[in-house]
Structure 1
Amino acid sequence: MTADPGKSAAPQPPAGGKGGWWPKVRPAAYLVLGGVSLYLVLPSLLSVFGSWRSLEHLDWPFAILAFACEITSYVCLWEVDRIALGTRAWFPVAAAQLTGFSAGHALPGGGATSTAAATAMLRKARIAETQDIVTAYGAAAILQMATTFSLPVLALPAILGGAAVNHSLATAAYLGVAVLVTILAVGTAVFVSDKPVERAGRAVQWLLNATVRRRKHVTDVPQKLLADRDFVRTTVGKRWKATLLAAAGNSLFDYFALLAALHAVGADPHPSLVLLAYVAGELLTLLPFTPGGLGFVEAGLVTTLTLAGVPGGDALAATLLYRIVSYWLPLLAGGVAYLLFRQRYGSGNARS
């Protein structure tokens, strides 16, 4: 899933820690919290893995399509990283992202470990210096999250217009194209003008103040959004149109992978409602309690897909297939990418 800053598309820059006792106990606290979280979601996780026998009856053309969509999603992700890093190289960028993804999910430290592994590889490949890499990944992450979480809002007219009534993949494709065009139009307006950003910021600010009781109202959301937009625009430079297209493709092809997985297990879902379930799953990947939202994503996807009209057994099997192509296979690919990178660039230290 795209928005997972671990799957996440781009590894996240490590947060700067403060002095005191918290940095010393933080790893142990996260370990305990992660163990408790896994215990709580273990029944759902076991239910998903227990549906593996259903994969024997897959409609394999759709299963292959899910895999192909996920590969395309990752290619779009690497293109975002390439533009942000200012390089034409494909292999080191892809290898660094996959290795960072695997390291961040297999070793303690999460996003910090992911960023450190990817940064070391890119420096060794002489792609960029550390600060430039962290800046590029930060800009890429902001853009990817913005496009992912704008999907349900931009698809709302199609949902209200009745797109949920038709279950066909053709309708899903039309919905995806419509959302893509809308993302590009809105993204273009955001990059060239301050007004859309300010209006969106004021709307979010009003929503936060109206729905969450707090001692002091939020007042700086428009300014923060403008600062993030300027940061991304400065980082990607004149290639912001290509970056926007690649970021939108990253999210949309990931969504198409989930749709194809549902059709592969024989489900007949509402494409627009599946889109909402997909975004809910993306939100769950951000939970820091388990690597990549492991357990939470599976439980959340099964629940939201069931609410979207997918039978329980199909929701379990489709979630398993989708997580295989979007989480477990990239996790394994990271190890292969690291070995290939070492073979090409050697195993010495990165340049200082």
Structure 2
Amino acid sequence: MKHPRGAAAGLPMRRQSAGHHPARRVPSATEPASARPRRWPRWAWWTGAILVLALAVAAAVSHRHKLAGASHLLAHVSGPGLAVAVAFEAASLVFLAALQRWLLRSAGGRLGLGTMAGVVVAANAMAGILPGGSALSVAWTVRQLQRRGIALALATAVLIAAGVLSALALALLVALGALAADPAGRAPGLRTALLASAAVLAAAILLAVCLIRSARFHRAARHAWTYVTARWRAGRRLADFLAEVFHQAKTIQPGVRGWARPFGMALGNWTCDAAALAAVLWALNIGVPWRSVLIVYGLTQISISLRLTPGSLGIAEASLSTLLVIYGLRADQAIAAALLYRIVSFWTLQPIGWTSWLRLTLRQTRAQPGTGGSRGRTGGPWRLTARHGRYHTPRDR
């Protein structure tokens, strides 16, 4: 879906007063192409996506006999095993919703788990299929939280914290998978590289913790930020917003031991999804490579997060099937497992997510006829007041 910009999107255009530079002129259709603004990044993205899909189709045609074997396996999938995979996938989404809800509640926010789960499922569907869906889903999630009385800075801080915890949990899962893998087994070099990367990441986290606790680093950072914002006019607004986000993030202070609970939720999100992959293999009557399943799963999720194609179509299937073949599965088994896992973890969630998106949108429209603001009450039993602004977080209905 294209998003109009400027006046076409209904946005007010600033008048230019004396002493200001004139507004940038929009080139007409009669001007040469060199004078028009370039849009090559968007075309480059689509070109890359089409190229990847074309390569996937070519690979499928050249491996028709393996696809035939995969289709035979899919035709004889076990119902109980498939149900277990679906249950683990549902539990994974519940863990993700519980993580974001816990972070909100620790800062004083109030939001039901059902509502948070609906927002998470809808945002997951947006991120999975739309071009630039990750950014759109984040913006939509923030907007939904705002309409439920959560301040912009607090919503941003919660999503950032949830993203950091999820990234660390996935890194831990991959590191555990590398430790569990057989040193003398398949792809020992990959295992060594993953362990080295985990050691570098652990050192970087330790350094970041030391810097955060250093008063000298805080003073240097404040001086540098003041210098930048004093010479960059737009940076002042950004500085105010980031200061507000940081202030709201500091309200999420469960203590060192308290962080174990949200980290456990983030780890549960990935673990249940990895268990869904193992259940898919079981449903296809394929032996699960237990010592390497975490490496296969973690590296597949990293490739999916790159979003090189809409929904990582072709990328996810190729990555998962290739890694499964590397760690001992036959090609037809790997293809069948990759396709069924994507059906469970991606395609099944798309209609559910868009149904949730439509339900939340229609409820929002009915609750706010003819208005553009939130219907929530101002005030309530608690209120969060920003240090650098006047954001108030009313209680959710």
Considering the TM-score relative to the shorter chain, is it more than 0.5?
Answer: yes
**Equivalent in the alignment of 1:121:** 144
- CA 1:44–1:159 in 2, change beyond 3 Å: closer, same or farther? same
Deviation at 1:88?
A: 4.1
User: Does residue 200 in structure 1 map to residue 216 in structure 2?
Assistant: no
Quick one: which amino acid aligns to residue 78 of structure 1?
A: A
Q: SS in structure 1 opposite 2:253?
A: helix
1:144-293 → structure 2 map (5 Å cutoff): 144-160=166-182, 200-201=203-204, 222-223=207-208, 234=250, 236-238=252-254, 239-293=258-312
The CA deviation string for residues 260-281 of structure 1, in whole angstroms up to 9 with x for no partner, is 1011111112212121111110
- CA 1:288–1:335 in 2, change beyond 3 Å: closer, same or farther? closer
Which of 133, 143, 147 in structure 2 is aligned with 1:110?
133
- Measure the CA separation in 2 of the matches of 1:329 and 1:296: 18
Quick one: which amino acid aligns to residue 158 of structure 1?
A: A
Structure 1 gaps, min length 5? 1-20, 165-195, 203-220
Deviation at 1:224?
A: 8.2
Deviation at 1:72?
A: 0.6
Contact preservation (8 Å) 1:70, 1:253: yes
Deviation at 1:81?
A: 1.0
TM-score by length of 2: 0.62
The CA deviation string for residues 273-327 of structure 1, in whole angstroms up to 9 with x for no partner, is 1211111101111223212322111001111111111222221111111111111
* Greater fraction of residues in helix: 1
**Equivalent in the alignment of 2:216:** none
- CA 1:260–1:346 in 2, change beyond 3 Å: closer, same or farther? same
Which of 73, 88, 92 in structure 1 is aligned with 2:115?
92
Which of 35, 49, 56 in structure 1 is aligned with 2:50?
35
Contact preservation (8 Å) 2:177, 2:292: no
Which of 134, 137, 155 in structure 1 is aligned with 2:156?
134
- Measure the CA separation in 1 of the matches of 2:67 and 2:159: 33
| Runs of 4+ that moved beyond 6 A | 45-50, 161-164
- CA 1:233–1:310 in 2, change beyond 3 Å: closer, same or farther? farther
**Equivalent in the alignment of 2:41:** 26
Deviation at 1:49?
A: 8.2
Quick one: which amino acid aligns to residue 148 of structure 1?
A: L
- Measure the CA separation in 2 of the matches of 1:269 and 1:131: 44
Q: Tell which deviates more after alignment, 233-242 or 250-259.
A: 233-242
Q: SS in structure 2 opposite 1:64?
A: helix
Deviation at 1:52?
A: 4.7
Contact preservation (8 Å) 1:266, 1:314: no
- Measure the CA separation in 2 of the matches of 1:351 and 1:103: 23
Coordinate RMSD, CA, aligned: 3.5
Q: Tell which deviates more after alignment, 75-84 or 92-101.
A: 92-101
Q: How many residues align?
A: 281
- CA 1:22–1:152 in 2, change beyond 3 Å: closer, same or farther? farther
Q: SS in structure 1 opposite 2:338?
A: helix
1:57-96 → structure 2 map (5 Å cutoff): 57-86=76-105, 87-96=110-119
User: Does residue 317 in structure 1 map to residue 317 in structure 2?
Assistant: no
- Measure the CA separation in 2 of the matches of 1:32 and 1:106: 16
- CA 1:343–1:198 in 2, change beyond 3 Å: closer, same or farther? closer
- Measure the CA separation in 2 of the matches of 1:75 and 1:134: 20
- Measure the CA separation in 2 of the matches of 1:240 and 1:340: 33
- CA 1:134–1:41 in 2, change beyond 3 Å: closer, same or farther? farther
Quick one: which amino acid aligns to residue 82 of structure 2?
A: A
Relative CO higher for 1 or 2, CA cutoff 8 Å, sep ≥ 6? 1
- Measure the CA separation in 2 of the matches of 1:225 and 1:40: 47
